[in-house]
Chains A and B, each alone.
Chain A
């Protein structure tokens, strides 16, 4: 555990970047520092690896004051990833990744083997090993940055806005990759961002900081969204926190209707049997079980339904793995107001109406204890 104990950083010009900050960063979890630009996130992160020394207070790792350890030993036990990766432009990708192992005295062959292994882990084509950084895209460079930070298998990973400079699609890929790597490796990750969505997505716990370097709230993301400590946090979370909070409720509990579903080659009897007064439409699936679209029962030609004449089904959601937010989104975007649920294989497992999703949201809120506090 990394304990930050009433730490203050005052720069020589008098700027107080961090003001009496105290919090415990849990092991093997992702702790995110989030806040507006200039609120002291980078300063906080850099005090952990002593690139900046605190003016007051102490930082302890597993009970040991970090000032007691030789500074380069401390740093080599912490991976560090920054915006734009900060790669060594004069070294090949593989030698970039091998930097810390080489510093730790590994021989060249072993360090390079390790670097190759890490390229695979972060999803980099091994063919890039001998390239130079300028030959890589921003997203690839960032992956190299992550691989380099992980090279010596440090217990701690410090990440300062690592994904801020890449475009949204690449960023989402990198975030998912980080979560996957974290599942495998279980590092203690301290992650800095100004993007609250990123914080909520990847953080096990999120520390919201306000200008002047003060901690506004330190809580798991769901709690943050449910119960913001004050107006600043609420404002920072943005207008649609109610919707975003739904990301933390699984869709798996949603009751699915399986009746109004027919295959594309359904007979007249099947169509008649599946049509119910509760549902004005039938969902037509291909022979492979994937959704094709909606149609009113009387418009469907028995035996050979024409997919081109169906109403679009919108994006389906994965019932077992996705959240109520995804289910609601699908229901809202569906032209019929009904969301299509699928399994991991893409086959339809049922359909659910906007009303049913709304009821599930109400009961999920009722069951969430943090919500009661908010209601008070």
Chain B
């Protein structure tokens, strides 16, 4: 039983406990980021002039290293999960805002006109027309944000074992146990792949109305938006 998945007692957790912790640390910020991005993106759609500055701010925030966030946040939120989650949520905005704006803008004008003419008010138009039609773009954004968040969580080990599976990296180095490092790296990769696959399934379920074949191609991060895709790939540096 012990052996492969056994981990040092200083982590006060099992391997599977760490997996769950890792998922929570990664996914809660993605959800929070999406919740913030939804109204923000809608504002950018309504007020066109707002979009470029918002995009600029999200990009600048994305360029701030997480360590810098930790230094500032630790005074307020301490060595807690919250301190890890806040920067992750902020980073996800750089993917979500453009994905949502592009998704909502991709709704054909005549569809919106028809909705207005049938007496759907602005809220109904948003919930019943724009969001569902933007779903493929939103999910493409979710995939990028989720995968990047899962890989970024590990950095939380820097503020005292708040990095989920990332904590094993630290221990692996301290105890000279390559097995722990492998457990961390492979575990993280498997989580990312599984989460991504789950989102692909979700998209298929949510969009029976999409012509098949077009949606089947695996969307590169570029499908959400070309520019932020590049920084996403550099996450390992954080």
Binding site for B on A (CB under 8 A): 49, 51, 71-76, 78, 80, 82-92, 99-100, 103, 132-134, 145, 148, 158
Contacts and interface: CB of A to CB of B under 8 A. Distances in A.
Given A90-B129, A158-B117, 14 more contacts: A73-B119, A75-B119, A78-B117, A80-B114, A83-B110, A86-B111, A88-B114, A88-B133, A90-B132, A90-B209, A103-B120, A132-B209, A134-B209, A134-B211
A51 B119 CA distance: 10
Nearest to B117: A80
Contacts of A87: 111, 114
B208 interface: yes
B116 A51 contact: yes
Please classify the interface of chain A as helix (H, G, I), strand (E, B), loop, or mixed, using the class held by over half of its residues.
Answer: mixed
B108 to A, nearest CB: 7
B52 interface: no
Contacts of A80: 114, 117-118
Interface residues of B, number: 22
Contacts of A158: 117
Contacts of A86: 108, 110-111, 113-114
Contact of B118 (A75, A90, A92, A133): A75
B111 A89 contact: yes
B36 to A, nearest CB: 25
B160 interface: no
Contact of A76 (B108, B119, B133, B211): B119
Interface in B91-106: none
Interface string B114-152: 111111110010000100110100000000000000000
A132 B133 CA distance: 13
Contact of B133 (A72, A73, A89, A134): A89
Interface of B: 108, 110-111, 113-121, 124, 129, 132-133, 135, 207-211
A92 B118 CA distance: 17
A71 to B, nearest CB: 8
A99 B118 contact: yes
B114 A82 contact: yes
Contacts, number: 68
A87 B111 CA distance: 6
9 contacts: A82-B113, A82-B117, A86-B113, A87-B114, A90-B133, A90-B209, A103-B120, A132-B208, A134-B209
A73 to B, nearest CB: 7
B110 A82 contact: yes
Contacts of A72: 119-121
B161 to A, nearest CB: 45
A87 B112 CA distance: 9
A83 B210 CA distance: 21
B116 to A, nearest CB: 6
Nearest to A134: B211
Nearest to B120: A103
Nearest to B107: A89
B180 to A, nearest CB: 47
Nearest to B111: A86
A74 B210 CA distance: 33
B102 to A, nearest CB: 16
Nearest to B133: A90
Contact of A88 (B111, B135, B210): B111
Contacts of B114: 80, 82, 85-88, 145
A356 B113 CA distance: 53
B206 to A, nearest CB: 9
Contact of B117 (A51, A73, A88, A89): A51
Given A82-B113, A84-B110, A100 B118 contact: yes
Contacts of A90: 129, 132-133, 135, 207, 209
A16 B171 CA distance: 74
